């Protein structure tokens, strides 16, 4: 029985009046896909979504709502018949759990679109307020900074709900196009992916593996990170490219201090080819200016010159502490710090070149003849799809 109602506030996309229909369409599509296994009814009215489900699915539904970009906030809403007694009863059901959590003050916000209702908004608030104070003399009204706000809306029925929970906010997945995330096992790239998903860019992910230098555990870790991102994107495609031959050729033919730089250029080149064949619009990386010595503007100019797609670097100006904070909140931090290296230290130069001299470096790189090994790596790329899951993998350390 669809006895539980969620009220979903779609914040940012309400502002784009002209595009609202389009954005709501993306959000509805995303939600519907995530709710495939759950009996539900989704409707929209006046810039909000209403989701009806059976109470037994509450936990799963709330997981979905807390991980879907485009949702500003959501609240479980109670429905009552349009008389003050029923409304008060519903309001208590919202108030009491909040009091148990420590709320000591409240305020009421009432709206009515049914003008035939006996009380106006002010009257509703006053009557309801008294009823709640009668039931709980120890609680107080605070209209400025209440611990909890109780909302009442009189429409064809009376709807009562509390503050609810903050959502991911941002824009619905796909409303901003499709991108390719260069995903590694580090802390940054999953956060970069999350950031772009929140801005409406749907993502495929690409991981560069170097068997036998990198372990199966390193791959498993990246797969687990992608699976966590899949909870925000509603499922995600993960491409794995074997870059061993590229690494070996770079080690053989490139100057030692250029090895990381050339590797990143090859990754961009490969990403460019993948974006083209998968019809994607942008490349996303977790690069951050100055975070490691070789992440300089000059080096970025060099590496990104091997793709014609926009390279989106949402963390380029972000402090590492903030990145870590986001990683913790999206559940990827614990996974990222697992010790399975995705790049063997023997490939890394002791003194990497800091500032690539653009023209000279481009010429040198082109002479190194790396296009063929990169093309071959792209050709043998493997792809898997990680579905949306209610139980994304958590970090487990063996031994």
Partner 1 sequence: MIPRYLDWAATAPPYADILEQATTHATTLYANPSSQHRAGVAAHELLEGARADLAMLIGTTPGRIIFTSGGTESDTIVALSTLTTAAPKSVVISAIEHAALYEQARILKSLGTTVIMVKPDRDGFIDPATVATAIRPDTALVAVMAVNNETGAIQPIKAIADAVHEAAAHSRRQPFIHCDAVQALGKFPVEPEAWGIDGAAFSAHKLGGPRGCGALYLRRPISPLACGGGQESGMRPGTHNTPGAWAFAQAAMRSATMLEQNLARARHLEALIIDGIASIPEARTVPEGRRPGDARYSPYIVSMAFPGLGGETMQRLLDEAGIAVSTGAACSGSKKERRVLDAMGIEPRLSFASIRVSTGRSTTDEDVSTFLDAARAAYAHYRL
Q: Which residues bind partner 1 (CB under 8 A)?
A: 212-213, 215, 248, 251, 339-341, 344-347
Q: CB-wise, 96 or 245, nearer to partner 1?
A: 245
* Cβ atoms 283, 269 nearer than 8 A: no
Closest separation in Å from C-beta 338 to partner 1: 10
Integer Cα distance of 61 and 43 in angstroms: 15
Integer Cα distance of 215 and 343 in angstroms: 9
Q: CB-wise, 219 or 309, nearer to partner 1?
A: 219
Q: CB-wise, 6 or 333, nearer to partner 1?
A: 333
Q: Which of 80, 52, 213 is nearest to 150 (CA)?
A: 80
Closest separation in Å from C-beta 215 to partner 1: 6
Closest separation in Å from C-beta 245 to partner 1: 11
Closest separation in Å from C-beta 340 to partner 1: 8
Q: Which residues contact 3 (CB under 8 A, 6 or more apart)?
A: 52, 54, 55
Start-to-end CA distance of the chain, whole Å, equals 47
Integer Cα distance of 383 and 208 in angstroms: 12
* Cβ atoms 168, 66 nearer than 8 A: yes
Q: Is the dihedral of CA 387, 264, 197, 225 positive or negative?
A: positive
Which two three-digit tokens encode residue 151?
């909302």
Q: CB-wise, 103 or 248, nearer to partner 1?
A: 248
Within the chain, how many helices (H) and strands (E) appear? 14, 15
Which residues partner with 78 through β-bridges? 160
Q: CB-wise, 99 or 337, nearer to partner 1?
A: 337
Closest separation in Å from C-beta 367 to partner 1: 21
Closest separation in Å from C-beta 239 to partner 1: 23
Q: CB-wise, 63 or 347, nearer to partner 1?
A: 347
Q: CB-wise, 213 or 333, nearer to partner 1?
A: 213
**Strand-pair category, 105-112 with 140-141:** parallel
H/E segment holding residue 255: none
Closest separation in Å from C-beta 392 to partner 1: 24
């Amino acid at each position: 029985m669809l006895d539980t109602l969620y009220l979903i506030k779609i914040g940012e996309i309400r502002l784009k009046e002209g595009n609202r229909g389009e954005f709501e369409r993306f959000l509805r599509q995303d939600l519907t896909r995530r709710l495939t296994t759950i009996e539900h009814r989704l409707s929209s009215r006046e810039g909000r979504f209403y989701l009806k489900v059976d109470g037994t699915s509450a936990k799963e539904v709330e997981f979905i709502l807390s991980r879907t970009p485009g949702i500003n906030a959501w609240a479980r809403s109670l429905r009552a018949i349009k008389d003050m007694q029923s409304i008060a009863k519903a309001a208590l059901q919202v108030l009491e759990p909040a009091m148990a959590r420590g709320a000591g003050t409240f305020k009421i916000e009432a709206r009515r679109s049914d003008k035939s209702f006996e009380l106006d908004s002010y009257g509703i608030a006053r009557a309801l307020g008294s009823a709640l104070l009668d039931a709980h003399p120890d609680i107080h009204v605070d209209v400025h900074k209440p611990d909890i706000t109780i909302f009442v809306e009189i429409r064809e029925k009376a709807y009562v709900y509390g503050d609810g929970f903050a959502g991911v906010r941002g824009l619905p997945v796909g409303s901003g196009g499709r991108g390719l995330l260069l995903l590694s096992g580090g802390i940054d790239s999953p956060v970069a992916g999350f950031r772009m998903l929140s801005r409406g860019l749907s993502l495929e992910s690409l991981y560069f593996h170097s068997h036998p230098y990198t372990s199966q555990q390193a791959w498993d870790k990246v797969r687990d990170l992608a699976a966590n991102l899949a909870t925000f994107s509603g499922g995600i495609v993960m491409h794995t490219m074997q870059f061993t031959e590229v690494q070996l050729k770079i080690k053989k033919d490139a100057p030692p201090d250029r090895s990381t730089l050339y590797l990143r250029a090859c990754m961009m080149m490969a990403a460019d080819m993948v974006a083209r064949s998968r019809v994607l619009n942008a490349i996303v990386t977790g690069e951050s200016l100055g975070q490691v010595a070789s992440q300089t503007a000059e080096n970025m100019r060099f590496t990104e010159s091997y793709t014609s797609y926009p390279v989106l670097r949402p963390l380029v100006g972000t402090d590492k502490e903030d990145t870590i904070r986001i990683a913790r909140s999206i559940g990827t931090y614990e996974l990222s710090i697992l010790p399975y290296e995705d790049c063997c230290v023997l490939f890394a130069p002791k003194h990497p070149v800091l500032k690539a001299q653009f023209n000279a470096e481009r010429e040198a790189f082109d002479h190194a003849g790396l296009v063929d090994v990169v093309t071959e790596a792209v050709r043998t790329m493997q792809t898997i799809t990680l579905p949306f899951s209610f139980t994304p993998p958590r970090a487990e350390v063996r031994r």
